[in-house]
Amino acid sequence: MNDSTTHRIVLSGFPIALFFEARRHNEALVREFTFIVEAEATPNDVPVRLLALARQLRERFYGLNADLEAQVDAAVAQGDEAIELQVRLAAFAREGALTLGALFDEADAFCRNGDLLTLAESDDVHQFRTWYIEEVVRQLDGGPPIAWPDWRAQRAKPRS
């Protein structure tokens, strides 16, 4: 299989309101990171790892898939609370998803430590992000989809 082959990823029970909450949190992080990067702060002003993280998140992961956006917009217009979201991803998106999860975990640690003005993500947003990334990885590895409500009922635990 070559890297240009795409795979259908199904995110069943995709919660619209939680998606928007996660998006607002991500946008707040991106705004703060954009300010950090564009303020030309010296490494003495901003921890070096935070500055590198800001650049990575801003450059590599800002913006969403247009098809995903269209599906969410249609669900909002119909008043749906959850949908069966379907996206097509190339196999190399697996590593991107894992990297994205690690970057957001690191950003969240900076939020919790008070190194950023942005508040840490809520437990619900953290669980949603974990589920979303696990679904991408699992399905790209050939596994079946697990719906959000089922995953949450079986696996979600509050962070300590």
Contact assessment for residue 86 and residue 10, using Cβ atoms and an 8 Å cutoff: yes
Q: What is the pLDDT of residues 1-10, one digit of tens each?
A: 455 688 999 9
What DSSP element (H or E) covers 6? strand 6-15
Give the pLDDT confidence score for residue 123 in this predicted structure: 94
Give the pLDDT confidence score for residue 5 in this predicted structure: 86
Instruction: Specify burial of residue 17 (Cβ count, 10 A radius: 0-12, 13-18, 19+).
Output: exposed
Lowest mean pLDDT among 50-54, 79-83, 117-121, 148-152: 50-54
Contacts 24+ apart (CB under 8 A), 142-151: 145/9, 145/10, 145/11, 145/12, 146/12, 147/12, 147/13, 148/11, 148/12, 148/13, 148/14, 148/15, 148/82, 149/13, 150/13
Q: What is the mean pLDDT of residues 83-92?
A: 90
Q: What is the pTM of this model?
A: 0.81
Q: What is the pLDDT of residues 91-148, one digit of tens each?
A: 888 888 898 888 889 889 989 999 889 999 999 999 999 999 999 999 999 999 999 9
Q: Decide if pLDDT at 19 tops 70.
A: yes
